[in-house]
Amino acid sequence: MKPLIGITTYGRDERKIKTFYYDEFYYLPALYVDAVRRAGGTPVLLPPGGSDLQESLAAIDGLIVAGGGDVQPARYQGQDGHNSLAGIDVDRDASEIDLLRQATGMHSRPTLCICRGMQILNVALGGTLYEHIPDVREEDIHRAGDGGWTKHRIQVAAGSFLSQVMDATSVETYSGHHQAVKDVGQGLVVVARAADEIPEALELQGHPWLVAVQWHPEMSAASQPSQQRIFDSLVTAAGS
């Protein structure tokens, strides 16, 4: 049987989709599913909310915490009134924090956290975030002028688990975020940075397979082997 890889979805109100028939959707970009399938896994979507997180975690072999909107600053003693905040979903924050605390604790699973996923992991383990990168950096290299995708190069620590997984220490990545890790959560180690020293990847000490990346490897996984290897390694670990 192929490993079952749970992928968290956007919240029911996080992305508006125009249709006559429904008002709310649990949403996930198809590229996440594609990358898991190429790696030999079976994707299982995990919408936020409900009280079945333990049952969901018990049913899957690996976990991907996907990108999405901003984390509510109240979760990390931040500025709730910051005018740059967008896409906050309190149910999703609560669900993913609970899920990650279980996945990094007694009910550990191979876990990959992507973009917002890296930020919510850091918050779940007691870390904090910058609400808005332009508040702390003169130049914002992490998104395009319209707030969308940009590409930039990141450096990965030689000898880190992530560098071994990707078989690379320097990669060009797709990025589109305006928040970032500030104070690092308990047990987490920064293993990659951008040119402006913003953290780009985290690993959890003592966990058999946990990688968090601030960029979006699913965007280039089909054409960039270093990025597909992240999903391949996760699925392999989940199946072992």
- Active-site residues, by number, are 115, 216, 218
| Biggest CA-to-CA distance, the chain | 53
Backbone phi and psi for residue 8, each to the nearest 5 degrees, phi listed first: -70, 150
Query: Residue 208 is encoded by which pair of tokens?
Result: 């058999």
Query: Residue 129 is encoded by which pair of tokens?
Result: 């975030």
Secondary structure (DSSP) of 40-56: T-EEEEE-S-SS-HHHH
In sequence order, what are the residues at sequence separation of 6 or more whose Cβ sits closer than 8 angstroms to the Cβ of residue 61? 3, 4, 5, 41, 109, 110, 238, 239
Please state, as a whole number, how many other Cβ atoms lie within 10 Å of the Cβ of residue 10: 22
Give, for 64, the enclosing helix (H) or strand (E): strand 62-65
Q: Are strands 111-114 and 210-213 parallel, antiparallel or unpaired?
A: parallel
Q: How far is CA 143 from the centre of its chain?
A: 16
- Give the span between the Cα atoms of 57 and 190, in whole angstroms: 26
Q: How far is CA 7 from CA 37, 188, 205, in A?
A: 12, 22, 23
How would you classify residue 37: left for phi > 0, otherwise alpha for psi between -120 and 50, otherwise beta? alpha
